Amino acid sequence: IGKQGSGTFNQSGGTNTISDALTIQTYDGSSGTYDLSGGTLSAPAIENHGTFIQSGGIVSSGTTLNNRGTFSFSGGTFHGHLHLHDQGYLSMASGSTLTAGGGITNDDTWSIYSGRTVNANGPGLVNNNYISLQGELGGSGPLLNNGRMLASGTISGSSGFTNNAFFEQSGDLTISNSG
């Protein structure tokens, strides 16, 4: 979508099954947007260099979203794995809960603002760069910090929190991870 120009794909229902990687915005100077508001999207990988919007619908398990562009999340079900690459951006609507059924890998600078909840299930969360937490981070998978984490808000979950690098409390912080 948006290989050498601009392109937008709006999915409001049905099933979109892609046997290869879905690429959003292939080349510099092009623009691409995938807007998922309903239905099911299934692909082995989503290579996002443009804009991926999820306000509803389902991203299937077995799908990896490699985000190097903008991932705008306000609702729906995300069963896949989320990989936040350097220079990617995750925008979450206030009051939203993003549950990544296939876990999360963070290689970016990522802020989880107050009023937002992120749950990393399955293999959990691996932070290799920087997370600023003011909201809630949890899930059923293990939480592993190999980078830098500046935290207030809540760290919850059921599979443990391991800090192998730099962790700093920046305000009121509740840790209730039972692992």
Strand-strand pairing, 161-163 and 58-59: unpaired
Mean pLDDT, residues 94-118 taken together: 97
Is the pTM here over 0.85, yes or no?
A: yes
Per-residue pLDDT reduced to its tens digit, 118-155 = 999 999 999 999 999 999 999 999 999 999 999 999 99
Mean pLDDT on 38-47:
97
Contact 142, 116 (CB under 8 A): no
- 3 state SS of 39: strand
Give the pLDDT of residue 84.
97
Q: Which two tokens stand for residue 123?
A: 């293999």
pLDDT in the model for residue 3: 87
